[in-house]
A and B are shown apart, each in its own frame.
Chain A
Amino acid sequence: MRLFGGFATAVIAIGVGIVGVSLTSAPAAAQKRGGTLVQITQPEPPTLGSYISTANPVGQVAAKIYDGLLEYDFDLKPLPSLAESWVISDEGKTVTFRLRAGVKFHDGRPFTSADVQFSVMEVLKRVHPRGINTFSEVTAVETPDAQTAVFRLNRPAPYMMAALSGYESPMLPKHVFSQGDIRTHQNANNPIGTGPFKFGEWRRGEFVRLDRNADYWKPGLPYLDRIVVRFIGDTGTRAAALERGEAHVAGFGAVPYNDLRTLERLPNIRIETKGYEMLSPVVELMFNTRKAPFDNVKVRQAISFAIDRKFVIDNIWFGFGKPTNGPISSNFAASGLYTAEVMNYTVADGVERANRLLDEAGFPRRADGTRFDIVHDITPYGEEWRRFGEYTQQALARIGIRSTLRYEDVATWLKRIYTDYDFDVSSNHLFNLADPVLGVHRAFHSRFIRPGTVFVNGVRWSTPQTDDLMDRATIEPDAAKRAALYAEVQKIVVEAAPLAWTHEISFATVLDRRFRDVIVSPLGLFSNFDRAWRE
């Protein structure tokens, strides 16, 4: 499945059917109307303005309210949504979207190309944290008629086509959001979109209620009457609510991994690991590559060899993970961007190799058996990260590196790693997102060595060669050539090991078995649940 296959030949897809876009193609069960789905989201979102905040809980709520131009299947291939069809021409520098007719916002006003123009040029390109990057090549959105939106690009941007979902790039009503300052807009928390659910009520600290949009443009959908998004602060209470069937859906880290294994055994619960394919978190150890001894590639490789990836996945993530050596998630195998042909750190004799590398690097063991001392800044995100730090401490001890763990609050930690660069080793995880341009380049492209910007190149490693490969891959419209460029990038960075990539996290969603067709897209909880139904 090639995501950008036939790019230059223009027509990529034409949405014919409106309903019947069955992604999971489950046997046609008799879907029923009605019912209330209770979703647990943790923590409570700070806002419902998904056009300005990419915080995880925001998307879990707002994606039910706002549609995007496109949807995606599990191979990350675009499907029609608000855009019925699209044509890419002019060697990738013009993208013409044919918009669906008769779509109405929740306030009854029609959705037109002017709304697309406004959403992309005035909002997403300006204030969306990732949109700034996604739409950086878009110079204009032209609106020849109400159902046509023409994106004019400076250079081809194949990754843009992967970022047009209702979660990533919500389409906003111009007549509402063009009034006043978009950054502090009053309708952020009273959202009006075209999605299957309308905003009902937000009782702070308790829940957000979303009501069925009877005028939704997909006839007969959604099936559910209501979605209630509950906010439950205590981990144990969340698990208990799911166990008792008072809540029906919870994902990401809302239920700890070890509890997932307990819930899994209950007859009324199903655990689903699909629905995170457009996020693809990869866990990494970050090295301060401009500081001794981490300026030495052998030291970095040694540490990567010393981590027993299987132990980490089995005992810290309770099996919800997959060992890896490189930065790009295997979820990109379908689009050809992932390669396993890189240096392999997941070997049985990792500890011996690591010891050898450290000897070669000029760090012999001292009288007490240690080689050197470091400080490891743990990711302050919760228990498993802490255990990962404690495990790493033991793993490094085996190769003679004595590490002290430091645990700070998120703000202090972020400043230390991404502003002051005052660290030896830290652990973290970056989302690959919908395309390596969006989620992977930031970790080791020289353009992303930006003091003060978080979750970018904090290791301050780059080479002109890898920069060039990534720059070429960014605008390469041919899928095969693009895959070849990324294969080379992966080969080089995995060997240079500016970060030690250890494993992909498989997030899991807890589902009540009475609810069907809930996770039907790679965006999982960030999708709109229009086809979810209750038995």
Chain B
Amino acid sequence: MKTFWPRFLSNPRVFLGLVWLGLLLIVAITANQLAPIDPFAIVGRPMAAPSPEFWLGTDSLGRDVMAGLIHGTRATILIAVVATLIAVGFGTFVGAVAGYYGGLIDDILMRFTEFFQTIPSFLFAIVLIAVLTPSALNLIIAIATVSWPPIARVVRGEVLTVKSREFVQAAVLAGQGDAAILLKQVLPNTLSPLIVTGSLLIATAILVESALSFLGLGAPNVMSWGFMIGAGRSFLRQAWWLVTIPGVAILLTVLAINLIGEGLNDTLNPRLSDL
């Protein structure tokens, strides 16, 4: 692991991805200073094209698209990251327990996972939002609910290979408890695939959130990129900037995350990248 950071950062694609994400992070944190207005506030003439007054134009109700984009950064990233953290946490728990104990527990947990995995995830998210009613919290719940099964499967697979290794058996002989072995011996050695899958999951979460908002199932009181696209899609022919600008933001962000995810993969699995 000593050579991780130099190797990781020397990859130009990773560098680009990190720059974009860093920028987003700054925007997200300083959203209230950069655009100190309510992004839903009606501030100008509806559907005004980009101009010195409104750099990115206004939408169908006269809301500033720039302000929407800035505040949307915060909401979009927050929802995606929190949902991913929950999915990773829950998926890791299920996968680790299933892989470590095996037998009946493994069977039950994996059938449970497959139950979630067999439902097309986006449709499942739509159903969840329809049942729970759209809000930021429920978006997080829905995205996390449909995202954890792949994590569980990855972690289980890794745990299965790691638990038969000598150092684990040594820990068993040394009398360590199950929880200690799992947390201290097994899980740290499953981290690299987990980090790669988890980082890519953030990109998926952004896409799911955007798609839900696009369909009008997003949180009605939260300005997100998906909301902006959903609200602007009917006006593509009259006001191209309403859909294009948040669309490009999503594209760049998902691309950046994928670049970083691939970079992580290359760095953490050096043998693959040497092939």
A residues neighboring B (CB under 8 Å): 235, 256, 258-259, 261-262, 315-316, 378, 382-383, 386-387, 389-391, 393-394, 397, 404-409, 412
Contacts and interface: CB of A to CB of B under 8 A. Distances in A.
Interface in B75-121: none
A162 to B, nearest CB: 36
Given A258-B238, A259-B234, A407-B133, A315 B61 contact: yes
Given A386-B220, A405-B220, A315 B62 contact: yes
B29 to A, nearest CB: 23
Given A315-B46, A390-B61, A405-B221, A258 B40 contact: no
Given A261-B238, A316-B61, A386-B231, 7 more contacts: A235-B234, A258-B234, A387-B60, A389-B220, A397-B38, A397-B41, A407-B133
Given A390-B61, A409-B130, A262 B237 contact: yes
Given A393-B40, A394-B41, A407-B220, A387 B238 contact: no
B134 interface: yes
B8 interface: no
B122 interface: no
Nearest to A409: B130
Contacts of B133: 406-408, 412
Nearest to B42: A394
Contact of A387 (B38, B231, B237): B231
Contacts of A389: 220
B237 to A, nearest CB: 6
A261 B46 CA distance: 15
A389 B61 CA distance: 11
Interface of B: 38, 40-42, 46, 60-62, 130, 133-134, 216, 220-221, 231, 234-235, 237-238
A436 B46 CA distance: 36
Nearest to B218: A407
B216 to A, nearest CB: 7
Nearest to A393: B40
A406 B219 CA distance: 9
Contact of B40 (A259, A261, A390): A390
B46 A383 contact: no
Given A256-B234, A390-B40, A393-B40, A378 B220 contact: yes
B75 to A, nearest CB: 15
B217 to A, nearest CB: 8
Contacts of B41: 394, 397
6 closest Cβ pairs, A-B complex: A405-B220, A407-B220, A315-B46, A394-B42, A408-B133, A407-B134
Nearest to A315: B46
B188 to A, nearest CB: 44
Nearest to B239: A258
Contacts of B46: 315
Contacts of B62: 315
A261 B239 CA distance: 13
A502 to B, nearest CB: 15
Given A315-B60, A407-B134, A407-B220, A262 B238 contact: yes
Contacts of B238: 258, 261-262
A406 B41 CA distance: 18
A383 B234 contact: yes
Contacts of B60: 258, 315-316, 387
B131 to A, nearest CB: 9
A406 B62 CA distance: 22
B41, B133, B234, B235 — most chain A CB neighbours (10 Å): B234
A240 B220 CA distance: 30
A378 B234 CA distance: 19
A381 B189 CA distance: 52
Nearest to A312: B61
5 contacts: A262-B238, A382-B216, A387-B61, A405-B221, A407-B216
A263 B231 CA distance: 20
A391 B235 contact: no
Contacts of A405: 220-221
Contacts of A382: 216
A386 B130 CA distance: 16
Contacts of B42: 391, 394
A397 B130 CA distance: 28
A73 to B, nearest CB: 36
B35 to A, nearest CB: 16
A264 to B, nearest CB: 13
A405 B220 CA distance: 6
A315 to B, nearest CB: 5
Nearest to B41: A394
Nearest to A408: B133
A431 B179 CA distance: 65
Nearest to B46: A315
A74 to B, nearest CB: 31
B246 to A, nearest CB: 16
Contacts of B231: 383, 386-387
B220 A406 contact: yes
Contacts of B220: 378, 386, 389-390, 405-407
Contacts of A408: 133
Nearest to B237: A262
A17 to B, nearest CB: 46
A405 B134 CA distance: 10
A100 B96 CA distance: 81
Contacts of A315: 46, 60-62
A394 B216 contact: no
A383 B133 CA distance: 17
A446 B271 CA distance: 78
B123 to A, nearest CB: 15
A412 B131 CA distance: 9
Contacts of A412: 133
Given A315-B61, A390-B40, A394-B42, A404 B234 contact: no
Contacts of B38: 397
Nearest to A383: B234
Nearest to A259: B234
Given A235-B234, A258-B234, A391 B61 contact: yes
B139 to A, nearest CB: 12
B216 A258 contact: no
B221 to A, nearest CB: 6
A316 to B, nearest CB: 7
